[in-house]
Chains A and B, each alone.
Chain A
Amino acid sequence: MKRHVVATIDGEHAEFLCDDGQTLLDVLRDVLHRTGTKEGCGTGDCGACSVIVDGRLVCSCLMLAAEVEGREVETAISISNGDTLHPLQRRFLEDAALQCGVCTPGFLVAAKALLDRNLDPSESEVRFWLAGNLCRCTGYDKIVRSVLETAAELRGGTG
């Protein structure tokens, strides 16, 4: 028997059927065809599948789809406001903070979760907050800089 779930995903009403064992990531990607959320490991170790559920940053590969009943899920897609990129997205592009880009949706979601609660993080706070997200291409330098610069911009500082 499949379970019927109703949730808000990226600001839209969403309904789906899932098995009890199916993860949120499986449903996002294979049932709802929202493939912007990536799978790097399926075991909670890479952060490529990061989403925000009711304001909390989670690995969607570790959360059961049935658990999002009645909740609000934000993926990388809802970071931008229609065609207007979020400052984080713009900075990532301007600073070349992505190479292959497969880690990027996860990093953006995680970074947004950080900036939502702390607009003035230190470099070390950024590094530890993002330590759950693996990037094999960039060595993190440009990612960390982008997040710090975006924070400054959002604070109305050096922008």
Chain B
Amino acid sequence: MSEEAKFRWIGTRVVRPDGVDKVTGRATYGADFALPDMLWGRVLRSPHAHARILSVDTSRALAHDGVEAVITSQDLPDIPSEEAFVGEQPTNFRELSHNVMARGKVLYHGHALAAVAATTPEIAASALDLIEVDYEVLPHVLDMPAAMAASAPSLHRDLEPAGFAAGATVPPNVSRRIELGHGEPDQGFAAADVVVEREFTTKPVHQGYIEPHACLVQANPDDDITIWSSSQGHFMVRAYTAKLLGIELSKVRAIPAEIGGGFGGKTTVYLEPLAAQLSRISGRPVKMVMSREEVFRATGPALGTRIRVKMGCKQDGRLTGAEAVLHYEAGAFPGSPVQAGAMTMFAPYELEHVRVTGYDVLVNKPKTAAYRAPGAPMGAFAVETVIDELAEKLEIDPIELRLRNAARKGTQAPFGPRYREIGCVETLEALRSHPHYTAPLGPNQGRGVALGFWFNAGMQSSAGLNVNEDGSVSVISGNPDIGGSRASLALMAAEEMGIDYEKVGAWIADTASIGFSDITGGSRVTFATGMAVVEAARDVKRQLCERAAAIWEVEPERVKWVEGEARLEGEPDREPLGLVDLAQRAARTGGPISGRASLTARGVGMAFGAHICDVEVDPETGRVEVIRYTAVQDAGRAIHPSYVEGQMQGGAAQGIGWALNEEYVYDEDGKMCNPSFLDYRMPVASDLPMIDTVIVEVPNPRHPYGVRGVGEVPIVPPIPAVVNAVHAATGVRYFDLPLSPPRVLAGIEAAADRGA
């Protein structure tokens, strides 16, 4: 299309603005800040999965040489229940406060219950041993069946379960029931030629960002608090810290550090309120950095799930009905992404009859946090595995079966609305025509495919665009750059302004220097913050035209901004005015030229991804090796294709790890047994092949450049793609993650026994 040709910068693979800093070690991440006179904070964590705190004696710790402050929940305000207004998953400030510092009870192994600030990290660590805690150990629940048994101990006595009919019996530890869908699935099953019903389980897994949580906080005597920390949203850090300390948001300034990965896990706080309180008490800056073990034990992993799926299909491959029941582990406080799981699992398909019921279940494990398309990969695992089985039973090619049922414009989504422009069919077709799909396979090898969906988020964003005195342009936004978003924002600004990319600087401002911006999450920055940048640029162009009009003494309507300069309509001989000219004359034409935009981004582009995975399974050991992998995804429009590919490859790798290796292993006391990168085995370079990518572009008509979010979709298809591939290689269907060698081998041996 000729539209493509008219872009000068969109779709190019420029070097990111923050690139040189990041390859030379100059970029400053959360743990890289220091201040004179700084103290080091450490956290005392519960050795029990569930216990009442009878008493905490901090006097010996406080008396220890070098210790400047010790806090417990008694040093933080007991705040009222209030729904949090920022963040990613549903959160309540009171629960957040109790998660950051246990009050009355500890609810999981690793739960924070006191914190110390001392002159060195070593002194802080040794002071923790001097805090005396008297516990009454309570019975705990680690899995959902146990948590929901009639005799189960309750985590929260004041729990008010939502979504149940009046008078319904609610099992213990269920905080919420949800239901969605349309039609009558039973009718659909009655009309089906084949019905498959299966139950699936997945274990909690960690986002595995390489940078542990870290912050530096300085509280001044007038109670202004400055926070340097790495997070997916410094406005979130400001709000959570202020709320938990019971102070005004205006008193807190959060300065974003570079962030060393988040994937949803840094959409909440753990350390900042504690460091702030320690700093207020000690009068000195306090730095806190988690150890990797603390990250595993005490930050929110992604949840474990139990999912039952039933789907019916006609001989001709038309799906007739679908039903699912989801149990999602929220951890120690309510708020699993069960709603998102329920909404996304059947979203790629046109279904007349579909119903999903979901439960949010509390267990004595860390409060879960978002992880890339929160809640969706597990649902896709269940649905896409059942679809694979249907395709096998009906002897229909699995991509063809999906295409026959694929959602398109006008299809009613299971969560209600009808889709606008979506690229589900285009994505599947690109997958089918990829040479990978028909490449030959060797012995013990198998191929699987899967489809995935994610909404993507809009939410609120702010951006500013300043024309500098020399005519260069600075783009300012309020979203931490987690994987190249400075580049995509700068590209859009350059395109919009009609100037060279090299003339654009991209900066992330602190909470006192830019309007409110929701978190970097929901794949929303290039989409929503990009929209704000484009609006700010248009604001600036309007001003530039006005300035030129003033210089030329003409009506502003006669001036147009074309290819980076103001031109006077109807007078082609008039020398145009460029950014440098107008910047130099700014003082005399009305002052600095600066535009801004703050908006709630509407018109989010929902997105689909589809993956092909080839595996080779060692029949002797059950080890699965991924030997070839291809990811296809509708990006709407790829602003910076390399970073879109990077999202696809990174999401695929995480999904492969989730499918094959990663899991939280607990002992019976509720202690995580594998809190290190050695024992929590994430994929390393030698575990993976190259990950091929195909970017499909079905532009989102409601974004100025057609953008859809790209960051989350790619983690949705990998689990079922891998599991379906293992089935193809072994003939065995697996329903429980991860597909570690012992589990795979047990499946192969059981099948051999049955066959023998």
| A residues apposed to B, CB below 8 Å | 19, 21, 29-30, 33-43, 45-46, 48, 75-77, 79-80, 85, 89, 92-96, 98-105, 108, 123-124, 126-128, 130-145
Contacts and interface: CB of A to CB of B under 8 A. Distances in A.
Given A94-B15, A138-B650, A104 B684 contact: no
Nearest to B291: A42
Contact of A100 (B482, B677, B684): B482
B396 interface: no
A29 to B, nearest CB: 8
Given A40-B212, A98-B23, A134-B210, 17 more contacts: A36-B24, A36-B26, A38-B210, A38-B260, A43-B678, A48-B210, A93-B23, A96-B645, A104-B23, A127-B685, A133-B684, A136-B653, A136-B654, A139-B651, A140-B683, A141-B645, A144-B690
Query: Which 6 pairs show the lowest CB-CB distances between chains A and B?
Result: A36-B25, A102-B260, A139-B653, A139-B649, A96-B642, A101-B22
A45 to B, nearest CB: 4
Given A40-B211, A92-B23, A139-B649, A100 B32 contact: no
Contact of B646 (A21, A79, A137): A137
A46 B210 contact: yes
Contacts of A134: 208, 210, 677, 682, 684
Nearest to B214: A39
Chain B contact-residue range equals 35 or more
B499 to A, nearest CB: 22
Contacts of A142: 642, 645-646, 649
Interface of B: 13, 15-16, 18-20, 22-29, 31-32, 34, 121-122, 207-212, 258-263, 289, 291-292, 482-484, 640, 642-643, 645-647, 649-654, 676-678, 682-688, 690-691
A39 to B, nearest CB: 7
Q: Binding site of A, secondary structure by majority: helix, strand, loop or mixed?
A: loop
Contact of A96 (B13, B25, B32, B688): B13
A140 B16 CA distance: 18
A89 to B, nearest CB: 4
Nearest to B654: A136
Contact of B25 (A40, A46, A105, A130): A105
B482 A99 contact: yes
26 contacts: A39-B289, A40-B212, A43-B678, A75-B25, A76-B24, A79-B24, A85-B23, A85-B24, A93-B15, A96-B643, A96-B645, A99-B482, A99-B647, A100-B483, A102-B211, A102-B260, A127-B686, A130-B685, A130-B686, A136-B650, A138-B649, A138-B650, A139-B683, A140-B649, A140-B684, A140-B688
Contact of B210 (A34, A92, A100, A140): A100
Q: Binding site of B, secondary structure by majority: helix, strand, loop or mixed?
A: loop
Given A134-B684, A139-B688, A99 B483 contact: yes
B211 A99 contact: no
Contacts of A108: 23
